[in-house]
Amino acid sequence: MATLVTTITETLRYRGKIGQWSWVFHRLSGLGIVLFLALHVIDTSWAAFYPELYADAINEYQSPLFTLGEFALVAAIIYHAMNGLRIIFLDYRPHLWHLQQKAATYVFVATAVIIVPVWGMMATHVANFWGDDPEFASLGDILNTQSQFLIGFIVIVLVALVLSFLYSLVAGDEKKAPKRASQIDAWLWTFMRISGFLIVPLVFGHLAMMHVISGVFDITAADATVIGTSATNDTGLAVEFVGERWDHLVAGVAIWRVYDGLLLALVVVHGFNGLRYVVNDYFHNPIVNRAFNWVVVFGGAALIILGMGALLAGVEETAFNIAIDKAGISQTFNTWLGG
């Protein structure tokens, strides 16, 4: 913890030029995306397991507060991806290391150049949606949902701390001799680079579908074509949107399930391993360090199981009907139900 405070104060004091700021922004953007990802995988799983709540989650995504967050999220991903590609490229080109400072500056410039048109396109979707005078989720509802996530997170951390304390009573925490970086860590170092490279097209493809070509608001647009399929969202319900995408077959393969599954596995392992680096940098007390490592490892595994479970289960007819009931829609929707 003291290390975290020192990092913050020294980051502000130390004049390490642009390289220092790239490190800070890379870390902060990575952490911001991980936080979003954890919430996002949980609420996407509701499309399969808890459709009433999924409608509320998407409704909150469409509120002005979340819209601001989405602009920040997109900027964070663009910066993290560009800077990550710089790190990967230069890691394998030591003879170019004297150009690090220049490269870090180019990354900031390139990020700004990409952000301007992307934000412009996102703003067009926002303006169209707000022009129709929609009903937004209230701030009270948003705080209510998000505080439940926060309480859940605090409980998980407290349970991990207690278990780690009990573990130290039984197994002891005597200092071990410093080990050389393990084989797993060396492998993870390479994995961070390979996964980062593969995530670029997957995450930008996903964001293009959800933000740029169509927007977050099109998830609930009735009678609109569902992006990446030839189907129509007859009801304008978010579960139908997801159901259509997950059921869309190309040559007998549910391509969006495969796509989401790949994205899920890569971003969760990459993001949670990045989180592990941050935890190990700042928390050195053995009980706290072990507890936080457990939260990261088991939390990441739980997210992958939950997300893959939702992809395998898909959006069932019953889930769809529950969502229809909740929305109070009385027509029959033969197209989606395959009639």
| Interface contacts to ligand HEM, rule CB under 6 A | 26-27, 30-31, 33-34, 37, 40-41, 44-45, 61, 70, 73, 77, 80-81, 84-85, 87-88, 189, 192-193, 196, 199-200, 203, 206, 210, 216, 219, 242, 245, 256, 260, 263-264, 267, 270-271, 274-275, 277-278, 307, 310-311
Sign of the dihedral defined by the CA atoms of residues 73, 74, 76, 80, in that order: positive
Taking the least distance from each CB to ligand HEM, the nearer of 275 and 324 is: 275
The span from the CA of 255 to the CA of 247, in Å, is 9
Shortest approach of ligand HEM to residue 45 CB, angstroms?
Answer: 5
Q: What is the smallest separation between the CB atom of 188 and ligand HEM, expressed in angstroms?
A: 8
Tokens of 253: 């393969």
Helices (H) and strands (E) in the chain — how many of each? 12, 4
Q: Which is nearer to ligand HEM, 160 or 188 (CB)?
A: 188
Provide the minimum distance between the beta carbon of 119 and ligand HEM in the complex, in angstroms, as a whole number. 14
Dihedral angle sign, alpha carbons of residues 123, 124, 129, 130: positive
Name which of 39 and 157 has its Cβ closer to ligand HEM: 39
**Nearer CB in complex with ligand HEM: 33/295:** 33
Pick the closer one to ligand HEM by CB: 28 or 162.
Answer: 28
Q: Considering the complex, what minimum distance in angstroms separates the CB of residue 202 from ligand HEM?
A: 8
Distances (CA, A) of 231 to 144, 150, 234, 246, 273: 35, 37, 9, 11, 38
Token digits of residue 189: 């170092």
Nearer to ligand HEM, 55 or 219 (CB): 219
Nearer to ligand HEM by C-beta: 164 or 218?
218
What minimum distance in Å lies between the beta carbon of 226 and ligand HEM? Answer: 8
17's CB contacts (< 8 A; 6+ apart) are: 101
Q: How far is the CB of 171 from ligand HEM (least distance, A)?
A: 28
The SS3 of residue 249 is: strand
Phi/psi of residue 284, each to 5°? -105, -15
Q: How far apart are CA 261 and CA 255, in angstroms?
A: 10
Report the nearest approach of ligand HEM to the CB of residue 184 (Å). Answer: 13
> Do 263 and 303 touch, CB atoms closer than 8 A?
no
Q: In this structure, how many other beta carbons lie within 10 angstroms of the beta carbon of residue 158?
A: 11
